[in-house]
Amino acid sequence: MIDGVNYYQILGVPEDALLKEIQAAWRSFVKDNHEDVVPQFERPAARERMFKINEAYEVLRHEEKRGDYDNAHMLNGGSSIELVRRRVRKAREIMRRDRRLITGEDMKLIETILDYLDRNTQEACFTWMTELLDKCPDMARYVIAPAFEEQLLGAKTSLLDMLLQKASYAITWEKIHLYGEDICGVSGKEDKERNYDQLARILCHRLDLAKYFVYAAYQEQASGCESCLLPTLLRVAPEEITQENFDDYVDTVYSMRSIIYGQLRNYNEQAIDWILKARPDLIRKPEKKQPPKELPLPLRTKS
């Protein structure tokens, strides 16, 4: 505990919160309390808040540390497995209800248990959400994260298709940013490319949010993916690329040593050419040559 407040209270989550809820709460606090986004006079207080938030998150995100913490402070009576089972049972009850009675809280509960389900049950959930969205487009904001999860998991369902058809207006820049981050953690080049292609589809529906796709497009290229997010961005909204974020990308490319990352470096050099062709007003900064490393003293040539 910190000043009589337990870690769950610090993060603002219930004691039976699942990992995804804990991660979401921590991300929200980081965004709102990081010293870089608060006024100068609030920075000391922001640093103190972030210290407490990070301390709580570091414990609650690890199952063993969390179990030890719960036992020490007599919190959260059930095991994590039983918590999941309880929520799965509740989710199944919700999915049997009349669609007109479904609430936002019901949808949030179903979202929290998706990662714990087998593939068939996951796809059943996504199909149910697709049917719900078709009949109740006002529920769109509750299916955005599951629609992106559907793509990350490679589920053979059509929730994202329905979202783009019925309510693409509900997609927010925060969800796009988190989806881009999650794609970075996807294993397998083909799966990464498939997800970047889905981001390109979303961009075509939400041109007003184009600037939030720029870094994801750079991540796509830096990872060596041959998908269509950057080409789509350059076709529909090249004006959203700023000199500052172009400089950041060029620095990333310069950090790829040709002797080790030769093919990847060449691919990204090609991407820089694409960007400069679409945006000739951008200026490519020169590469700083690294000075040769001095050999250790015993290996130096005697003068």
Render 77-122 in DSSP notation, one character per residue: -S-HHHHHHHHHHHHHHHHTS-GGG--HHHHHHHHHHGGGS-HHHH
Name the residue among 198, 132, 135 with its Cα closest to residue 171: 198
Read off the tokens for 269.
């050099």
Spatial contact of 228 and 181, defined as CB atoms under 8 Å apart: no
User: In the chain, what are the domain boundaries?
Assistant: 7-77, 81-278
148, exposed or middle or buried, with CB in 10 Å at 0-12, 13-18, 19+?
A: buried
Q: Record the tokens describing residue 89, joined without a space.
A: 């049972």
For residue 294 the two structure tokens come to 């001095």
Per-residue pLDDT tens for 222-242? 999 999 999 999 999 999 999
Element (H or E) spanning 40, and its range?
none
pLDDT 10s digits, 23-78: 989 988 888 877 677 788 888 888 888 888 999 999 998 877 887 787 777 665 55
Across residues 148-154, what is the average pLDDT? Answer: 96
Task: Name the average pLDDT for the chain.
Answer: 88
Rounded Cα distance, 210 and 236, in Å: 9
CB distance 61 to 19 below 8 Å:
yes
Flag whether pLDDT at 105 surpasses 80: yes
Q: Look up the CATH superfamily of 7-77.
A: DnaJ domain (1.10.287.110)
Residue 162 is predicted with a pLDDT of 97
Q: Which tens digits make up the pLDDT trace of 163-189? A: 999 999 999 999 999 999 999 999 899
Higher-pLDDT residue of 82, 158:
158
pTM beyond 0.75, yes or no: no
Please provide the DSSP assignment of 233-278 as one string.
Answer: HHHH-GGG--HHHHHHHHHHHHTS-HHHHHHHHHHHHHHHHHHHHH
Q: What's the CA gap between 147 and 87, in Å, rounded?
A: 20
pLDDT in tens, 15-25: 878 888 899 89
- Quote the radius of gyration of the chain (alpha carbons, Å): 23
